[in-house]
Structure 1
Amino acid sequence: MPLPSPNLYPDFNIVRLSHVESVVTDLTRSKAFYAEALGLQVTYEDGNRICLRALEERNHHCVILKKGEEPVARDLGFKVYSDSDIDKAETFFKAKGLPVAWVERPHQGQTLKTQDPFGVPLEFYHQMETLRPIHQQYRLYKGVRPLRIDHFNCFSTDVDSSVAFYNELGFRVTEYTEDEETNKLWAAWVYRKGGVHDMAFTNGRGPRLHHVTFWVPTPLAIIDLLDLMSISGYLANIERGPGRHGISNAFFLYIRDPDGHRIEIYCSDYLTVDSDLEPIKWDLKDPQRQTLWGAPAPKSWFEEGTLFEGAAVEEPKLKAQPIVAP
C-alpha cells in the first residue's frame, strides 16, 4: 500500500506529544523508580497520584502515575497550537463518529478526551500550568538525566490504517518497514515536532501501548543508568540494549518499570523539519532495521505491551514476522 502524501494543512494543529497517564499498583515503589532511578522530577503527589516532568520541560508534567489495581495505560496526551485548535479537534473527531468529551484535568486547561478509530485513548489541550526552568539546575541531574518525553509507540492491528488516520492529523512518515510479500506496512514512524517520531506503530495485537520514550543528553547517560540499575535492584528490569537503531539512528535502551510498563531511553536521532523530507524504507528481514549492529530484539519486545484501559484487543491482520532473538 503506498504511503499517503504529506498533509501539510490538517484540520487542526498538533504541536507535539505531551504526556502519558499510567496506572501503577504501588505509588511508593513507582516513585522510587521514576524519580530516583530515572531522574524525573516530581511536581505533584498525593495518596493517589504522582506527576513528574523531565529536566528541559516547563509544562507541569509529562508523566502521571495513578494508583490502581491493574497496570494499564490511560490517555496519551498531545499539545495543540491554540484553544481554537481544540474546538477544531472536537469537530474532526465527531465527524469521524468517534467519542468526544470535555474533561477536567489537574494542572491543564480545556481538555478534549477522545480516541482514534483503533481504540487508543487520546486527549488534546493547549495550556498546561508552567513551572520555572530547571535545565541549568545541574544538582537535579541524576539517574539517566531525562531531558524530555520524546515519543509513544503503539501496537497496531493494521499499520497502514493507523498511518492513514494519523496522516489526516498532520503526522508525517519518516521511516517505515514494509513486508515485501504483501506490500503492507509492518511498522511506521510519524512525527509532528521535527524529530523522527512523536508516534510509532508496530504490527501486533492491539491496541496496546508498546513503550514511552525519554530523550537523554548522551549515550553515556544510558551507560550510567545501566550501572545504577545493576546495583540497585533493577537488573531484571533491563529488557533490550544498549544499542543503536537502524531506524532513526538513535542510541537506545529498553527497560521495564516495576509494573512492567516499557520505557525507552533514547538520543541522537535526526532533524525532520523539511517539508519535502522523503521517508526511508526498510525491509522487514533486514537485520540492521532493529539494531544497526545487527542484534535482533527479544521475543518479549514483539509480544508484550501495556493494555489501554477499556480497549478490546484484537489480533493483527498482517502475520509477517521479523527476525527475533533466540
Structure 2
Amino acid sequence: MPIPAPNLYPPFNILRLSHVEYRVTDLARARAFWVDTLGLQVTAEEPGRLYLRAMEERGHHCVTLVEAAEPSVGVLGFKVFDEGELDKAAAWFARQGLPVEWVESPFITRAFRTRDPFGIPLEFYARMERLAPIHQKYALYRGVKPLRIDHFNMFASDVDASVAFYNQIGFRVTEYTEDAESGRCWAAWMHRKGGVHDVAFTNGRGPRLHHTAFWVPTPLNIIDLLDLMATTGYVANIERGPGRHGISNAFFLYIRDPDGHRIEIYCSDYQTVDPDLEPIRWDLKDPQRQTLWGAPAPRSWFEEGSVFEGAELVASALTAQPIVAP
C-alpha cells in the first residue's frame, strides 16, 4: 500500500513522545538496572513506584517503574503544544469513538488517557512539572550517560493501518520497509520532533511494545555500557549489537531489563525537519536494512515484546519474513 501523504495540519499539535510506564516484578532489582547500570536519574520515589529522567530532560520523568505481579506496559505518553491543543486532542479521540478518561497523573497538570484503535494505551498532556537542569552536573553522569528518551517501537498486526491512523494525528513517515511480494508495509518510522522517529511500527503479533530508545552522546558510550554490563552480571541481558542500522543510520545496542523489557541505546541518526521530506523505502530482503554492515538480527528481536496492559493481541496477516540470524 502507498505511504500516505504527510498531514501537515493535523487536528491537534503533538510536540513529541514524552514518557513510558513499565510494570516490573521487583522494583529494587529494576532500580539497580535502570539507575545504577544505565544511569537514569531518580526524580521521585513512592512505595512501589519510581520516577526517572535522562540527563538533558527538564520534564519530571520519562520513565515510571511500577511494581506489579507481572511485567507489562501501562501507558505511552505524549506532550502536546498547550492546554488548548490538549482539549482539541480529547475532543478528536472522542469523535473517533475511542475512550477518553481525564486522569490524575502525578507531576502532570492535566492529562487524559485513551487507546488507539489497536489497543495501545496513550496519555496526552501539555504541562509536566519542570526540574532544574542537570546536563552540566557531570558528577551525575554514569552508565551509558542517557541524554533523553528518543522513540517507541511497537509490534503492529497491521502496519499500514497503524501508519494511516498516526498520519491522521500528524506523525510523518521518514523511512519504511516494504514487502515487495505483497506491496504492503512491513515496518515504518514516523516522527513529530524532527528526528527519524517518535514512533515506529514493526510487523508482528500486536499491539506490543518492541522497545523504548534512549539517545546517548557517542558510540563510545555504548561500548562503555557493554563493558559495564559484561562485568556486573548483565551479559545475558545484551541482545543485539552494537551495530549501525541501515534504516535511520543510527548506531545502536539492544538490551533487556531484568523483566525482559527491551531498551535501545541509540545515537547518530539524522534530522527530518522539512515537512516535504520524501520517505526512504527499503526492501524487506535487503540485508543492509537491519544493519548497514549486513549482520541480521536474532529471532528474539522479531518475536518478543512487552504486552500493553489491557490490550488484546492479534496475529499479523502479513507472513513475510525478514532475514533472521541462524
Residues 1:31 and 2:31 aligned together? yes
- Aligned match of 2:44: 44
Note the C-alpha offset of 1:317. Answer: 1.7
The answer for unaligned runs of 5 or more in structure 1 is: none
Aligned pairs for 1:87-98 (under 5 A) are 87-98=87-98
Cα deviation, 1:21-50, whole Å, max 9, x if unaligned, reads 000011101011001100000001122100
Residues 1:179 and 2:179 aligned together? yes
Counterpart amino acid of residue 272 in structure 1: T
**Whole-Å Cα distance in 2 between the matches of residues 108 and 100 of structure 1?**
17
- Aligned match of 1:101: 101
Residues 1:236 and 2:258 aligned together? no
Cα deviation, 1:231-269, whole Å, max 9, x if unaligned, reads 001000000000000000000000000000000000000
Name the stretch that deviates more: 91-100 or 256-265.
Answer: 91-100
- Aligned match of 2:79: 79
Q: Secondary structure at the match of 1:248?
A: helix
**Whole-Å Cα distance in 2 between the matches of residues 317 and 173 of structure 1?**
22
Cα deviation, 1:205-255, whole Å, max 9, x if unaligned, reads 000000000000000000000000000010000000000000000000000
- Aligned match of 2:249: 249
- Aligned match of 2:165: 165
Residues 1:266 and 2:266 aligned together? yes
Q: State TM-score, norm by structure 1.
A: 1.00
**Whole-Å Cα distance in 1 between the matches of residues 29 and 274 of structure 2?**
43
Q: Secondary structure at the match of 1:34?
A: helix
Residues 1:153 and 2:146 aligned together? no
- Aligned match of 2:132: 132
Counterpart amino acid of residue 156 in structure 2: S
Counterpart amino acid of residue 299 in structure 1: R
- Aligned match of 1:66: 66
Q: State TM-score, norm by structure 2.
A: 1.00
Name the stretch that deviates more: 41-50 or 245-254.
Answer: 41-50
**Whole-Å Cα distance in 2 between the matches of residues 214 and 270 of structure 1?**
15
Q: Secondary structure at the match of 1:76?
A: strand
Counterpart amino acid of residue 206 in structure 2: G
Note the C-alpha offset of 1:275. Answer: 1.4
Note the C-alpha offset of 1:276. Answer: 1.3
**Whole-Å Cα distance in 2 between the matches of residues 61 and 179 of structure 1?**
38
Q: Secondary structure at the match of 1:220?
A: helix
Note the C-alpha offset of 1:162. Answer: 0.3
Q: Secondary structure at the match of 1:209?
A: strand
Note the C-alpha offset of 1:156. Answer: 0.2
Name the stretch that deviates more: 42-51 or 235-244.
Answer: 42-51
**Whole-Å Cα distance in 2 between the matches of residues 173 and 36 of structure 1?**
36
Residues 1:290 and 2:290 aligned together? yes
**Whole-Å Cα distance in 1 between the matches of residues 280 and 109 of structure 2?**
38
- Aligned match of 1:4: 4
Residues 1:193 and 2:219 aligned together? no
Counterpart amino acid of residue 129 in structure 1: E
Q: CA RMSD in A?
A: 0.4
Note the C-alpha offset of 1:16. Answer: 0.1
- Aligned match of 2:122: 122
Cα deviation, 1:120-175, whole Å, max 9, x if unaligned, reads 00000000000000000011110000000000000000000000000001000000
Counterpart amino acid of residue 148 in structure 1: R
Counterpart amino acid of residue 201 in structure 1: F
**Whole-Å Cα distance in 2 between the matches of residues 305 and 196 of structure 1?**
22
**Whole-Å Cα distance in 1 between the matches of residues 272 and 130 of structure 2?**
27
Percent identity, aligned pairs only, is 71
Q: Secondary structure at the match of 2:249?
A: coil
Counterpart amino acid of residue 32 in structure 2: A
Aligned pairs for 1:196-235 (under 5 A) are 196-235=196-235
Counterpart amino acid of residue 20 in structure 1: V
How many residue pairs match? The answer is 326
**Whole-Å Cα distance in 1 between the matches of residues 43 and 309 of structure 2?**
25
Q: Secondary structure at the match of 2:228?
A: helix
- Aligned match of 1:301: 301
Q: Secondary structure at the match of 1:288?
A: helix
The answer for unaligned runs of 5 or more in structure 2 is: none
**Whole-Å Cα distance in 1 between the matches of residues 132 and 82 of structure 2?**
22
